[in-house]
């Protein structure tokens, strides 16, 4: 007989008094033990003072053994036992053999049956829709703390579904008192769990906080019970609280006592939300890190739902979402441990040559679920996020007791079906309605522990996926992992002929910040789906080293002052690094660029660099690159290019493809009294993300003799409470068209301002579903100054009764005339109506021809500390003869602000400025500031900040300011402040007066060139150059001047351009902010 080996259980060394508690971070209990498991293996021993031995087990082989309920039963370990004063003998904290626990378990099991869960779906949807609506109201630049938001979701869901009680957490800045008390209790319970007795005795404040939190929670739960007895639910309605108050135990015939009901309520409110909110938070984290999984999940959701809200019967078809949740629970089991103890002395972990470890009744055998779920003996590449592990094909291959996020056996979570249904519903809504990305691209996961696990400070930016831009996936064979896109009902009809072979793929990539390029990319994917392609849509950065070669690659990207969007930067760097290689052989591609021609030389720079870089790396163009200019009719640009694109794609694939060039679907507008009932089905109105500020002061800054110089104003706002800003941020203002403009419009359209209309259709920015006064629509919603679109011109021509004028209007829409005669001259819809009086059109017919009146963004010219709660703008009123030759042009926003008297309410929002466009953190780094006119705004704020910081330092670097203005005696803005700062040795001003030039110095860039030796010295010493001004004149002028300064010093133009580019993209020592 072979003698089996014996050995002691490994683990950290035990010391007097503290035992092994020194190995545990009290704020990261589970993570500490997981780290020890990596050191000691699948089982190790902890000895905490005052507690029975705790065997930490992570080996699936041993866990499988201790899950045998004939040998082991649930052990309430220290962290849970500390919650006994809170949950009593409730389902979570009670002892399995306790009669109260057994009775409650029998009564409540039917309350979580599939039939019961189906009945709860409507209430779950109610709360999920509230969160969806809240996020849809947020601005994309307002990040979301997902753990906090999902906590509000899950606590409200369990309260409504189980107790028919609305906590309304989304309608308050602070959480319900129960939630605050619960958080305190859970944190303190975890901290006290492994403290030695003497330490607990000394930590009186923690014990006091814990006891007070428990008392408050039980008091609130009792209030729920008392209220239900006073106000029972209407006949025929049911919830879990009703079951607990009225159901009889099928074994004893008894009902639950009030104390037991209170215990269960507290249990449900804790367990019913805490772990699910963590699950959803970690799922979002992993989806953002794994963009291919995210895209596939969105395609599955789009295929199943087709743009409509999810229904209960859809859940079975959304299996991939369930797979994502199960894989999330594998890597991040939010209930991270469960304990058992043996009925009698036994051995565990035995092998053929090892007799195992002896354990005794009362010992705690604690399964470390995070470590179990990454046991390499079971899980291949365990740290990789891979939902395919839980596919229908692969799930049966997972060994028994390898995945235990809901505990074990009789004591496994009674609400697991509830939790997965709620999480599947919410994640589906998120995927259907939003794009998501890290607010901080450098975020590193920090796991917060209480009773469960959650990501700490995970801030996410959610951008709404517009329904009109979504596409539904076409049906595919079972098991397919990619769906073909098809056109949703909200897209305009497009005539398509020809199709590609089954299985043909197309990769559609975008670089976008404002959303225009992404919208174009999704429209390409929509049409591609109708042609039969399986489409892969993602940001450009996701395609680094990942371009397909078995189908077309279509790229749509914007360019911002010659720089790539954030989600395209890595791709551009990669493409440029592969020039001159064969890295892209086999890739067939086409590029479409979106930009603003006001940015001069940098217009279309990024699309061009990508186009040329791919070709230089061996890729083949499908068609010439296309371009849209947002200063013109960019929709027309895109539609024309896309029509030609499909012909070229067909040529490459040997297929005849034709896509008719169609105009964008417009809103439907009807008189209110003629509106059909369907148009009056008003849904919830999402309020604006903007809030009300009050004008504090509005001063004219021109110093006299301005003549035709535009009026410059200094406007101060009292911001609403909680609206903060930083140096370099913007204040966005929601403008209103002037009464004069609106009167002109309604006169030309022969419509009274009080006429009421109803708006319908998906593709509109106008409020829908309720009557609106025409006067208010023209005042608050329509951009009356925008050049008429070519499709709008064609519609105007259709309404023209005079054949010669009809032909003339139609001719303006032709490409050879449109830019020079419409865009360049800013010929508006109203100008056309004014010029061609034979056009007969009412406001009802004209409203769809206008674009949206968008908020205007202004750089904040004050520093946050100057007057707390106040922000200042420096505004130049835009007014003068219209370039179209029809009347006067007045900028909507500047005119609105110019007329705003003190105490006027104005809708505003703070928008973060570019991170690079801020003063150096190091006060010893000099600044070279270049601005003109109202472009001085942010630079003035930087100088105020410099003055403030220099009060406590004697080594502040002096700033050099090049400021362009008309004249010293007319609009030399903030001259008194420059004089003060100069006297303190903090500033040297080099003005340039365009109407009073000194020698060759007329503009700011001229002064920059004159003082080039000094500027070169500052640049080479690491100075930061910050420029703010007109995108058409100042910014390109400064860029060219700096290039020439560097060229003069280094002797080579190409090297000069390279150095300036490095300053702009690598060291961030040359940063521009431009406006038009």
Check residue 219 and give its pLDDT: 87
**Active-site option among 72, 112, 406, 993:** 406
Q: Does the pLDDT of residue 332 top 50, yes or no?
A: yes
Q: Does the pLDDT of residue 78 top 80, yes or no?
A: no
CATH code for position 753:
1.20.990.10
Q: What does the pLDDT average to over 540-567?
A: 86
Q: Does the pLDDT of residue 631 top 70, yes or no?
A: no
Query: pLDDT, tens digit, for every residue of 613-625?
Result: 999 999 999 988 8
Residues 584 and 730 in one domain: no
Higher-confidence residue of 58 and 274: namely 58
770 noted as active-site residue: no
Query: pLDDT, tens digit, for every residue of 995-1033?
Result: 888 888 999 999 999 999 999 999 999 999 999 988 778
Q: Which domain holds residue 744?
A: 670-674+687-856
Residues 579 and 696 in one domain: no
**Active-site option among 93, 184, 267, 275:** 275
Residues 795 and 741 in one domain: yes
Residues 655 and 747 in one domain: no
Sheet holding 691-700, edge to edge: 856-859, 730-733, 905-911, 691-700, 712-718, 870-876
Higher-confidence residue of 608 and 757: namely 608
Contact 735, 752 (CB under 8 A): no
Residues 1067 and 920 in one domain: yes
Q: Does the pLDDT of residue 728 top 50, yes or no?
A: yes
Residues with Cβ within 8 Å of residue 218, at least 6 apart in sequence: 86, 262, 266
Final residue of a structural domain among 856, 873, 888: 856
Higher-confidence residue of 760 and 1049: namely 1049
Q: Is 89 helix (H, G, I), strand (E, B) or coil?
A: coil
CATH code for position 1024:
3.40.50.80
CA nearest neighbour of 709 among 996, 1037, 975, 1038:
996
Q: Does the pLDDT of residue 488 top 50, yes or no?
A: no
Q: Does the pLDDT of residue 376 top 60, yes or no?
A: yes
- Tell me which DSSP letter residue 823 carries: I
Q: Does the pLDDT of residue 282 top 90, yes or no?
A: yes
Query: pLDDT, tens digit, for every residue of 107-120?
Result: 888 788 777 888 89
Q: What does the pLDDT average to over 377-399?
A: 92
Count of structural domains, the chain: 3
1035 occurs within a structural domain: yes
Q: Phi and psi of 99, rounded to 5°?
A: -65, -40
Q: How many C-beta neighbours within 10 Å does residue 123 have?
A: 18
Residues 530 and 654 in one domain: yes
Check residue 447 and give its pLDDT: 94
Residues 760 and 850 in one domain: yes
Residues with Cβ within 8 Å of residue 99, at least 6 apart in sequence: none
Check residue 637 and give its pLDDT: 77
Query: pLDDT, tens digit, for every residue of 860-880?
Result: 999 999 888 999 999 998 876
Three-state secondary structure along 6-36? CCCCCCCCCECCCECHHHCCCCCHHHHHHHH
Overall pTM surpassing 0.95 (yes/no): no
Contact 465, 280 (CB under 8 A): no
275 noted as active-site residue: yes
Residues 474 and 574 in one domain: yes
User: Is the dihedral angle over the CA atoms 959, 964, 967, 972 positive or is it negative?
Assistant: negative
Structure tokens at 940: 């003035």
Q: Work out the mean pLDDT of the chain and round it to a whole number.
A: 84
Query: How far is Cα 120 from Cα 860, in angstroms, rounded to an integer?
Result: 49
Residues with Cβ within 8 Å of residue 498, at least 6 apart in sequence: 531, 650, 655, 656, 657, 658
497 occurs within a structural domain: yes
Contact 1003, 1041 (CB under 8 A): no
Q: 950: which strand partners?
A: none
Q: Give me the percent of the chain exceeding a pLDDT of 70.
A: 87
Residues 705 and 652 in one domain: no
Q: Does the pLDDT of residue 553 top 50, yes or no?
A: yes
Higher-confidence residue of 673 and 303: namely 303
807 occurs within a structural domain: yes
Query: How far is Cα 268 from Cα 273, in angstroms, rounded to an integer?
Result: 8
Check residue 492 and give its pLDDT: 38
Structure tokens at 479: 């098991």
Q: Does the pLDDT of residue 604 top 90, yes or no?
A: no
**Active-site option among 44, 93, 268, 413:** 413
899 occurs within a structural domain: no
Query: How far is Cα 783 from Cα 829, in angstroms, rounded to an integer?
Result: 10
Query: How far is Cα 1003 from Cα 993, in angstroms, rounded to an integer?
Result: 7
Query: pLDDT, tens digit, for every residue of 900-959?
Result: 999 999 999 888 787 789 999 999 999 999 999 999 999 999 999 999 999 988 899 999
What CA–CA distances, in Å, run from 354 to 341, 348, 503? 21, 10, 55
CATH code for position 552:
3.40.50.360
Q: Does the pLDDT of residue 46 top 60, yes or no?
A: yes
349 occurs within a structural domain: no
406 noted as active-site residue: yes
Of 352-366, 388-402, 704-718, give the lowest mean pLDDT range: 704-718
Q: Does the pLDDT of residue 661 top 70, yes or no?
A: no
Query: How far is Cα 749 from Cα 745, in angstroms, rounded to an integer?
Result: 6
Instruction: HSE, CB side, 13 Å, CA atoms: give it for residue 673.
Output: 1
Q: Is 1073 helix (H, G, I), strand (E, B) or coil?
A: strand
523 occurs within a structural domain: yes
Q: Does the pLDDT of residue 467 top 50, yes or no?
A: no
Query: pLDDT, tens digit, for every residue of 123-143?
Result: 999 999 889 888 887 777 789
Cα angle at 310 between 164 and 236, to 5 degrees? 30
Residues 589 and 726 in one domain: no
The helix (run of H) or strand (run of E) holding residue 348 is strand 346-348
Residues 647 and 717 in one domain: no
Residues 748 and 655 in one domain: no
Q: Phi and psi of 843, rounded to 5°?
A: -60, -35
Q: Is 413 marked within a binding site?
A: yes
Q: Does the pLDDT of residue 658 top 70, yes or no?
A: no
DSSP 793-819: HHHHHHTB--HHHHHHHHHHTSHHHHI
User: Which of the four pLDDT bands, split at 50, 70 and 90, describes residue 698?
Assistant: very high
1054 occurs within a structural domain: yes
Structure tokens at 413: 């979570």
User: Which of the four pLDDT bands, split at 50, 70 and 90, describes residue 348?
Assistant: very high
Check residue 474 and give its pLDDT: 34
Check residue 528 and give its pLDDT: 83
985 occurs within a structural domain: yes
């Amino acid at each position: 007989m072979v003698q089996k080996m014996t050995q002691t259980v490994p683990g950290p060394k035990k010391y007097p008094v503290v035992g092994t508690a020194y190995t545990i971070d009290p704020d990261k209990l589970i993570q500490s033990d997981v780290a020890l498991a990596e050191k000691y293996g699948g089982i190790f021993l902890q000895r905490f003072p005052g507690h029975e031995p705790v065997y930490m087990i992570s080996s699936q082989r041993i866990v499988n053994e201790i899950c045998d309920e004939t040998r082991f039963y649930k052990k309430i370990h220290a962290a849970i036992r500390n919650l006994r004063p809170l949950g009593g003998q409730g389902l979570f904290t009670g002892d399995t053999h306790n009669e109260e626990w057994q009775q409650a378990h029998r009564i409540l099991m039917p309350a979580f049956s599939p039939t019961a869960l189906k009945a709860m779906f409507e209430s779950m949807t109610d709360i999920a829709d509230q969160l969806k609506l809240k996020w849809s109201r947020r601005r994309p630049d307002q990040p979301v703390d997902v753990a906090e938001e999902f906590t509000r979701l899950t606590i409200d869901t369990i309260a409504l579904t189980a107790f028919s009680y609305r906590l309304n957490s989304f309608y308050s800045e602070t959480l319900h008192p129960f939630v605050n008390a619960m958080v305190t209790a859970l944190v303190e319970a975890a901290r006290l769990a492994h403290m030695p007795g003497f330490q607990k005795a000394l930590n009186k404040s923690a014990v006091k906080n814990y006891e007070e939190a428990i008392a408050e929670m039980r008091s609130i739960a009792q209030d729920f019970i008392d209220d239900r007895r006073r106000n029972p639910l209407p006949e025929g309605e049911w919830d879990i609280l009703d079951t607990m108050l009225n159901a009889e135990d099928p074994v004893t015939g008894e009902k639950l006592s009030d104390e037991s009901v209170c215990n269960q309520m507290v249990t449900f409110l804790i367990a019913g939300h805490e772990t699910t909110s963590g699950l959803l938070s970690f799922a979002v984290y992993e989806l953002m890190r794994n963009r291919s999984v995210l895209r596939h999940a969105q395609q599955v959701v789009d295929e199943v739902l087709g743009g409509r809200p999810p229904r209960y019967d859809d859940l079975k078809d959304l299996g991939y979402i369930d797979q994502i949740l199960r894989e999330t629970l594998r890597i991040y089991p939010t209930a991270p441990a469960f304990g058992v103890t043996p009925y009698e002395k036994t051995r565990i972990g035995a092998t053929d040559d090892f007799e195992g470890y002896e354990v005794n009744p009362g010992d705690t055998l604690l399964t470390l679920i995070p470590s179990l779920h990454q046991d390499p003996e079971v899980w291949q590449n365990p740290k990789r996020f891979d939902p395919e592990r839980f596919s229908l094909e692969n799930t049966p291959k997972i060994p028994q007791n390898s995945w235990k996020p809901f505990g074990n056996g009789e004591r496994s979570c009674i609400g697991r079906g509830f939790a997965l249904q709620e999480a599947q519903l919410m994640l589906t809504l998120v995927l259907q309605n939003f794009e998501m990305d890290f607010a901080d691209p450098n975020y590193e996961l920090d796991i917060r522990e209480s009773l469960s696990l959650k990501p700490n400070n995970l801030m996410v930016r959610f951008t709404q996926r517009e329904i009109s831009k979504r596409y539904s996936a076409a049906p595919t064979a079972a098991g397919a992992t990619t769906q073909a896109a098809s056109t949703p009902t909200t897209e305009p009809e497009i005539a398509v002929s020809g199709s590609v072979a089954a299985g043909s793929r197309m990769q559609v990539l975008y670089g976008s910040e404002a959303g225009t390029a992404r919208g174009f990319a999704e429209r390409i994917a929509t049409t591609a789906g109708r042609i039969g392609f399986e489409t892969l849509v993602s940001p450009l950065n996701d395609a680094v080293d990942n371009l397909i070669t078995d189908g077309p690659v279509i790229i749509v990207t914007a360019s911002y002052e010659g720089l790539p969007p954030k989600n395209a930067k890595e791709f551009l760097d990669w493409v440029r690094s592969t020039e001159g290689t064969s890295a892209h052989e086999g890739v067939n591609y086409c590029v479409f660029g979106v930009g603003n021609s006001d940015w001069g030389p940098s217009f279309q720079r990024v699309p061009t660099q990508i186009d040329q870089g791919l070709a230089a790396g061996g890729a083949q163009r499908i068609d010439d690159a296309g371009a849209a200019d947002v200063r013109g009719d960019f929709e027309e640009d895109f539609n024309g290019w896309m029509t030609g694109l499909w012909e070229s794609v067909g040529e490459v694939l040997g297929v005849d493809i034709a896509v008719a060039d169609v105009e964008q679907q417009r809103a439907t507008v009807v008189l209110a009294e003629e509106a059909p009932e369907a148009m009056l089905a008003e849904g919830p109105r999402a309020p604006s993300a903007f809030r009300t500020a009050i004008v504090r002061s509005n001063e004219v800054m021109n110093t006299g003799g301005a003549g035709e110089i535009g009026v410059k104003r200094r406007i101060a706002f009292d911001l609403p409470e909680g609206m903060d800003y930083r140096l370099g941020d913007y204040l966005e203002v929601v403008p209103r068209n002037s009464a004069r403009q609106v009167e002109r419009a309604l006169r030309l359209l022969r419509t009274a301002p009080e006429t009421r209309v109803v708006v319908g259709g998906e593709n509109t920015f106008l409020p829908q579903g309720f009557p609106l006064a025409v006067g208010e629509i023209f005042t608050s919603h329509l951009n009356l100054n925008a050049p008429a679109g070519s499709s709008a011109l064609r519609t105007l021509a259709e309404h023209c009764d005079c054949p010669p004028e009809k032909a003339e209007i139609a001719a303006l829409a032709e490409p050879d005339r449109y830019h020079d005669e419409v865009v360049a001259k800013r010929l508006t819809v109203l100008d056309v109506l004014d010029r061609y009086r034979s056009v007969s059109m009412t406001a009802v017919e004209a409203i769809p021809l206008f674009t949206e009146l968008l908020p205007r963004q202004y750089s904040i010219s004050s520093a946050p500390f100057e007057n707390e709660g106040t922000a200042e703008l420096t505004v130049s009123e835009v007014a003068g003869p219209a370039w179209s030759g029809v009347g006067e042009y007045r900028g909507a926003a500047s005119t609105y602000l110019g007329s705003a008297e003190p105490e006027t309410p104005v809708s505003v929002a703070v928008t973060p400025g570019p991170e690079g466009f801020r003063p150096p953190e190091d006060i010893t780094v000099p600044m070279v500031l270049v601005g003109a006119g109202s472009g001085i705004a942010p630079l003035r704020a930087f100088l105020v900040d410099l003055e403030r910081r220099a009060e406590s330092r004697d080594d502040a670097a002096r700033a050099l300011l090049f400021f362009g203005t008309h004249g010293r005696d007319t609009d030399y803005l903030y001259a008194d402040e420059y004089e003060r700062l100069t006297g303190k040795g903090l500033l040297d001003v080099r003005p340039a007066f365009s109407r009073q030039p000194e020698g060759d110095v007329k503009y700011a860039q001229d002064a920059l060139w004159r003082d080039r030796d000094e500027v070169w010295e500052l640049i080479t010493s690491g100075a930061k150059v910050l420029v703010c001004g007109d995108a058409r004149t100042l910014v390109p002028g400064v860029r060219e001047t700096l290039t020439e300064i560097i060229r003069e010093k280094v002797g080579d133009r190409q090297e000069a351009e390279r150095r300036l580019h490095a300053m702009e993209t690598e060291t961030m020592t040359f940063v521009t902010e431009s406006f038009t």
